[in-house]
Amino acid sequence: MRDLKDIYLKLKEYEGRYSLEMYDYERTLIVDAIERLIPVKAIPNKNSLTGKQEYNYWVCPNCNQAFAGMLDYCYHCGQALDWKDSFYDNE
Ligand SMILES: [Zn+2]
């Protein structure tokens, strides 16, 4: 995973020197980084046998990795998470 610091350092390296090739590559990294800053809803992590959500377990919609707790950011990929209107759906 590329984090914001990697992208920042890469951009500093290219400062004052522009090429289309660099632009496309860096643009992909920047778009990816910005997308991870925009909060998205975590997906309830359902038990494959019962179909019910595992207690307080969620799946990141960006990297599809599971995590526990209502985190502000996925600790696998850094995706910002939105918990507005989220609830356990076992009720
Ligand atoms: Zn993630």
Q: What is the pLDDT along the chain (91 residues), one digit of tens a residue?
A: 456 777 777 777 776 666 656 677 777 888 888 889 999 999 999 888 898 888 889 999 999 999 999 999 999 999 999 998 876 554 4
Q: How far apart are the CA of 5 and the centre of ligand 1, in A? A: 17
Q: How far apart are the CA of 60 and the centre of ligand 1, in A? A: 5
Q: How far apart are the CA of 31 and the centre of ligand 1, in A? A: 16
Q: How far is CA 69 from CA 39, 51, 52, 54, 58, in A?
A: 16, 19, 16, 11, 8
- Enter the tokens of residue 75: 């600790």
Judge if pTM exceeds 0.85: no
The DSSP symbol for 7 reads H
- Enter the tokens of residue 88: 């356990």
Q: How far apart are the CA of 71 and the centre of ligand 1, in A? A: 11
